[in-house]
Amino acid sequence: MTRRLLIATVLAAIAVGIFTAPAPATAQTSPQTTSQASDTAIVTKISGLLDPVMADFLESSLDEAANTGAVLLVLQVNSKGAIISDSKLESLANRIAASPVPVAAWVGPTGARATGKVAQLLAYTRAVGIAPGARLGKTGSDVLRQPPDTTVGGSLAWYDPDSSSSASSSSSSAGTGRYIWGRHADRLIDSTISSEEALSLGIAPTPAPTVGDFLVNLDDLGFQSAEIANDDGQPQLEPLTRVRFTRLGVFDQLLHTVASPPIAYALLLVALWLFAFEFFLAGVGIAGATGALSLLLASYGLAVLPASVLGIALLVFSAFAYCVDLQAGSPRFWTLIGTGTLVWGTIVLFNGDNGAGMSWIPMMLGTAGMLVGMVWVTPVGVRSRFSTPTVGREWMIGEEGEAVEAINPDGVLKIGGTLWQAHSRRAAPIAIGEKAKVEELVGLTLMVEPVDEDDNSADDASADDTSINNAVEDNSSAKEPAKS
C-alpha cells in the first residue's frame, strides 16, 4: 500500500506531462476501422522489464486487436523478467490464452532474452519464434501454475495434455505443480535454450531470424502470404497481410525507462550530487531544480522496482558523509566512510529478483561518477565560486564585508565584489546588508563577527580627530619661517 501511495504521489506531481503526451498505454498509430484492420497483423514491442506501464500497454494491445478485428497479434519480446504482481501476471496470461485474436511471440532480435516470469507468460501464446542468438528459459519458480485454456481459439503449439499431466504429477511431489511448457518444463526452469534447440524440441515451429520471417510462417494463425521468386530465382514467401507496429507513447516510455534499475540508480546519485553542489555553491537554483526533478523520477522508479530500503539509506548516507568533508575543505576520514557506504549501497540496492538487477558496468560507473563529483568536481566549483585570483588570503583577516545572504550561522559575505562562504560563531544571526569582519580562515570558509555600529562611529570619530590634529600641525609648520 505504501508503495502504491508513493507511486500515486509521484504521478500526481508530474501529471502536467499527460496533457502534452499521447494517451497512456496506447499505440501510436492512426485509427483503424474494423473493415480496414480485418487483414492486418499487429506487432507489439515488449522490451525491458514487464512493469505496470508495459503490462497496461499489453492489455491495451489485446483490446485493440480484438476491437479492430486484427487477424493476429505478435509480441516482439526482449525482457528478462516481470515486476508486476502475481495476480496481474495471471490476469495477462488468461487474457492471452482466451484472446479471440491469436497471440504469438517472437523473441528477438539477436541478443534478446525472454526469461523469468516473461518466459512463463510466453507459454500462453499460440506460437513462439526465437531469433538466432536470442534465448528463452530460466522460468524460475512457477507463478502460472494452471494449464492454459486451450479450448478457446485453438491449442498451443507445445501443449501436450499427456506429457503436461505427467510433468505436473512428477513435479507435484516437489510442491511445484508445474503445468506450463509441458514436457519441457524441467529443462526450462533453470536454463535457457537457443533458436536451434527450440526447433529441435518443437517449441518453435520454424526458423525465425526476423519478425517478418516469423510472420510469413504463421498461415495456420491467419497470416496470409504468397510464394514468389526472388531476384535469384529462388522461391520466397511474400506477406499479403498488412503489418502494423505499435509502441509506447512518450509519457509512458519515460515512466518505463526510469523504472529500469540502472536508470533509477543513476538518477538517485545525480540528485544527491546536485543537491550537494547547489548547497555548497549557493547558486541560483538550477542545480537544485535539476536535482529535484531527478529525485522525482528516481522515486517513481525505485517505488516500482524491488529496491532495498537499506540500499537507498546507504546511498543517502554516503552523500551526507561526503558533505562533511566538503565543509571541512579537504577529503578526510568522512570521505572514506562515504565511499564505503556508496559501494555497499550500490551492491545491495537491487538483489536481482525477477530480472531487476544491475550488471557491474553501471555499478562501477555510478560509484566512480559519484566519487569524482563529490571529491573533485564540487570542490573545484566551490573554489571557483568563492575565491579570487589573489595568491594567499591572509590579507582578508580584519577585512569587512556585507552579508548578501543571512549568516545564521552559515551564509555568504561579499568582500571587494567577491562572494565567500561565511560562518558566524555568534548566536545572533547577521542579517542581509549588515557588516561583518573576518576573524579567521578555515579551509574555504571565513569565520566572521558582526561589526558593531558603535565601533564604526568611534573609529570614524578617531579618524576625524587625527585629521584635524594633522591639519593644525601643518599650519603651524607653515607659519614658523614667517616669524623668523
- The predicted-structure confidence for 360-417, as pLDDT tens digits, reads as follows 999 999 999 999 999 999 888 877 766 554 445 677 788 899 999 899 888 888 887 7
- How far, in whole angstroms, is CA 142 from its chain's centroid? 29
Q: Does domain 34-248 have CATH number 3.10.20.30?
A: no
Q: Which of 247, 253, 245, 250 is nearest to 53 (CA)?
A: 253
- Please give the pLDDT value at position 5: 44
Task: Between 398 and 479, name the one with better pLDDT.
Answer: 398
* pLDDT mean over 24-30: 40
- Please give the pLDDT value at position 340: 96
Spatial separation of the C-alpha atoms in residues 346 and 265, rounded to whole Å:
8
Percent of the chain having pLDDT more than 70?
A: 76
192 Cβ neighbours under 8 A, 6+ residues apart: 113, 115, 135, 136, 137, 138
Highest mean pLDDT out of 22-31, 186-195, 394-403: 186-195
Q: Are 258 and 51 in contact (CB under 8 A)?
A: no
- Please give the pLDDT value at position 392: 55
- How far, in whole angstroms, is CA 153 from its chain's centroid? 40
- Please give the pLDDT value at position 465: 53
Q: Which of 189, 182, 223 is nearest to 203 (CA)?
A: 182
Spatial separation of the C-alpha atoms in residues 366 and 372, rounded to whole Å:
10
Spatial separation of the C-alpha atoms in residues 97 and 83, rounded to whole Å:
21
pLDDT at 281 over 60: yes
Mean pLDDT, all residues of the chain:
80
446 Cβ neighbours under 8 A, 6+ residues apart: 396, 413, 420, 421, 422, 423, 438, 440
List, edge to edge, every strand of the sheet that includes 113-115: 113-115, 135-137, 192-193
- Please give the pLDDT value at position 84: 94
Spatial separation of the C-alpha atoms in residues 190 and 167, rounded to whole Å:
16
Backbone angles phi, psi at 113, to 5 degrees: -135, 145
pLDDT at 291 over 90: yes
From the CA atom positions of the chain, what is the Rg in Å? Answer: 35
Count of other CB atoms within 10 angstroms of residue 297: 22
Highest mean pLDDT out of 29-43, 47-61, 216-230, 278-292: 47-61
- Please give the pLDDT value at position 387: 59
Taking only the tens place, the pLDDT of each residue in 83-111 is 999 999 999 999 998 899 999 999 999 99
- Please give the pLDDT value at position 29: 41
Q: How confident is the model at residue 482 (pLDDT cuts 50, 70, 90)?
A: very low
- Please give the pLDDT value at position 351: 84
Q: Which of 199, 175, 173 is nearest to 184 (CA)?
A: 199
Q: How confident is the model at residue 261 (pLDDT cuts 50, 70, 90)?
A: very high
Spatial separation of the C-alpha atoms in residues 430 and 415, rounded to whole Å:
15
Match 560509484 to its residue by C-alpha cell: 367
For strands 400-405 and 225-229, give the pairing: unpaired
Alpha-helical regions (H) of 69-155: 86-97, 116-122
Taking only the tens place, the pLDDT of each residue in 133-173 is 999 999 988 788 655 554 433 445 455 555 444 444 333 33
Q: Which of 418, 458, 425 is nearest to 439 (CA)?
A: 425
What CATH topology corresponds to 394-453?
Answer: OB fold (Dihydrolipoamide Acetyltransferase, E2P) (2.40.50)
- Please give the pLDDT value at position 234: 76
Spatial separation of the C-alpha atoms in residues 311 and 101, rounded to whole Å:
44
Q: How confident is the model at residue 446 (pLDDT cuts 50, 70, 90)?
A: confident
* pLDDT mean over 114-128: 93
pTM: 0.70
Residues linked to residue 43 through DSSP beta bridges, in sequence order: 74, 245
Percent of the chain having pLDDT more than 90?
A: 50
